[in-house]
Chains A and B, each alone.
Chain A
Amino acid sequence: MLYLQVLINGLVLGGLYACIAVGFSLVWGVLNVINILHGSFVILGSYVAYFAYVHLGIHPFYSIILAGAVLFALGYALQLGLINRVVGAPVLTTLVLTFGLDLLLNNAMLVAFSADYRSIQLANPLGRMDLGEVTLPLDRVASMLFALGLTGLLYLLLGRSRIGRAIVAVRMDREAAALMGVRVRRVYAITFGVGAMMAGAAGSLLALIFPISPLNSSEFLGIAFVVCVMGGLGSITGAMIGGLALGVIESFAALFIGPEHGLTIAFTLLILLLMFKPTGIMGRRGYE
């Protein structure tokens, strides 16, 4: 029963990890940009949810929309104004640019919000549900379901919508996509905006679970990076599976070795996995 509980906790965490990683993976896969800003995007989403709750009484589940919209706009503008200038440059160049932008954004948040950890205390929490010896923390479970739902929506958007097909086409062959009439630079901006939007939405959900501070951004970036490498680049299902796997591994590592080592152990196991299966869980297809 203890193991079942740990598994559930891991899946809850993992659903949120998937949502954090999926936008990062999309941007990496389509633009070939490793977006160092991603962790700060998540934090900014958390702050949007925090202030919306504290000042306006908007529940973080509703703030998904608000945080998503704010972050989409920010991501779209950054891509169109700045990052589009270096797309296609060697990966180091784009890395340096997003690294610099991350320093700016993260420090701006430190100045504006301070490094103090804040958290949302819900006035009406959903509480817990006991199923025999297993307990479901309902707010967390609901967050995880929202996170997986959003990831699923993104999957549908890519597969079914016109803009989604354009994004996939650009990922496979930029020039051929242009010959179909796809406006590649605009698709880049939208893709980056969608990546940021997913980060913002994830941040909004995480605001219920983790303390909020700009200092956490590198941890979220690390999670996104590992999940995405593990699941295969640019693959939504890969990010979903990778996120869930990371959450579960982290939970069990915390149980067996100690909570403070959970992520460290998880990252170490992933390095081992990659040594034996360098294409990630989803294999080559994720790259195409």
Chain B
Amino acid sequence: MAEPLMQIQGLESGYGEIQVLWGIDLEVHEQELVSLIGSNGAGKTTLLKTISGLVPPTNGSVLIDGEEYAGRRPDQMLTAGVAQVPEGRRLFRTMSVRDNLLMGAYMRPQNDPGIREDYERVMAMFPRLAERARQDAGTLSGGEQQMCAIGRGIMGRPRLLMIDELSLGLAPRAVEMLIESLLELNRAGVAILLVEQDVATALDLAHRAYVVDRGRIAMSGTARELADAPEVREAYMGI
């Protein structure tokens, strides 16, 4: 198999004295859609933040194309092609939808004609945003905010987009739309690392998946394998 886009080995991190991750091994290949599942407080968000450079790792390695990126700053991770859509959307509330999307392209040269192209692409992907481009982001509904957050991630033109809690608190119809868009994005060649509390959906979408439990990887495999595993069905799908 080709070299993974991102390969994580023995990653440890936490907040001050509190260690949260205890040696995570995980990889994402080009164009793959990988889901991370696990109960509340398992450390999924901390893992994404450690990868994206918001939380410094205390140990372990994050290889992008074989090069060491553990402990780099978020802007360096973006340059390497790794972007994160944070839990809770975290839009810039009193900026317009358009300005939020342009913030996503902050790292790119301002005269890059690709920015305009990607902006149009996001608008085509989420027509609801096009209607509301001039509105403050804080006035959007939850689903629209998630569209805007994902669009903002896309505007950095990442090769790997990490999304923390896609469907949390959103109406089922909005979730369906978002999933369609994610699949489209993935087919267009962007790898996705998805944290999703709805385990059935997470496994339905993904090629492969990992189960995070108390800061460790408890299980991994193809989405199919995990969906069929009795442990997963019992612990996370309530079957």
Contacts and interface: CB of A to CB of B under 8 A. Distances in A.
A182 interface: yes
Nearest to B108: A181
B94 A180 contact: no
Contacts of B94: 172, 285, 288
B93 interface: yes
Given A169-B92, A288-B93, A180 B106 contact: yes
A175 B138 CA distance: 17
Given A172-B93, A176-B90, A182 B99 contact: no
Interface residues of B, number: 27
A182 B75 CA distance: 7
B93 A166 contact: no
A114 to B, nearest CB: 46
Nearest to A288: B94
Nearest to A175: B54
A118 interface: no
A176 to B, nearest CB: 4
6 contacts: A176-B91, A177-B103, A178-B74, A183-B73, A183-B75, A285-B94
Q: Which of A162, A168, A172 has the most CB of B within 10 A?
A: A172
A285 B94 CA distance: 8
Given A162-B110, A165-B103, A169-B103, A179 B86 contact: yes
B95 A168 contact: yes
Contact of B54 (A166, A179, A288): A179
A116 interface: no
Interface of A: 162, 165-166, 168-169, 172-173, 175-183, 285, 288
Contact of A178 (B54, B95, B99): B54
Q: Top 9 A-B pairs ranked by shortest CB distance?
A: A181-B107, A181-B75, A176-B90, A180-B106, A181-B78, A288-B94, A172-B92, A178-B74, A180-B103
Contact of A175 (B83, B90, B156): B90
B75 A172 contact: no
A173 B137 CA distance: 13
A189 to B, nearest CB: 15
Contacts of A173: 90, 92
B71 interface: no
Interface in B27-72: 52-54
A175 B73 CA distance: 12
A176 B107 CA distance: 14
Contacts of B104: 180
B84 interface: yes
Contact of A176 (B53, B75, B79, B86): B86
Contact of B74 (A168, A169, A181, A285): A181
Given A162-B106, A166-B106, A181 B156 contact: yes
A176 B91 CA distance: 7
A212 to B, nearest CB: 39
Interface string B86-119: 1000111111000100111011001000000000
A177 B103 CA distance: 8
Nearest to A171: B92
A168 B78 CA distance: 20
B106 A175 contact: no
A97 to B, nearest CB: 22
Contacts of A168: 92, 95
Contacts of A179: 52, 54, 74, 83-84, 86, 90
A180 B78 CA distance: 8
B23 to A, nearest CB: 25
A172 B91 CA distance: 9
A168 to B, nearest CB: 7
A165 B106 CA distance: 9
A236 B192 CA distance: 40
A2 B91 CA distance: 51
Contacts of A183: 73, 75
A178 B52 CA distance: 10
B123 to A, nearest CB: 19
Q: Which of A165, A169, A175, A180 has the most CB of B within 10 A?
A: A180
A178 B74 CA distance: 6
Contacts of B90: 173, 175-176, 179
Contacts of B107: 180-181
A180 B86 contact: no
Contacts of A165: 99, 102-103, 106
A168 B103 CA distance: 11
A288 B73 CA distance: 26
A172 B95 CA distance: 9
A36 to B, nearest CB: 28
Nearest to B88: A176
B19 to A, nearest CB: 21
Contacts of A181: 74-75, 78-79, 106-107, 156
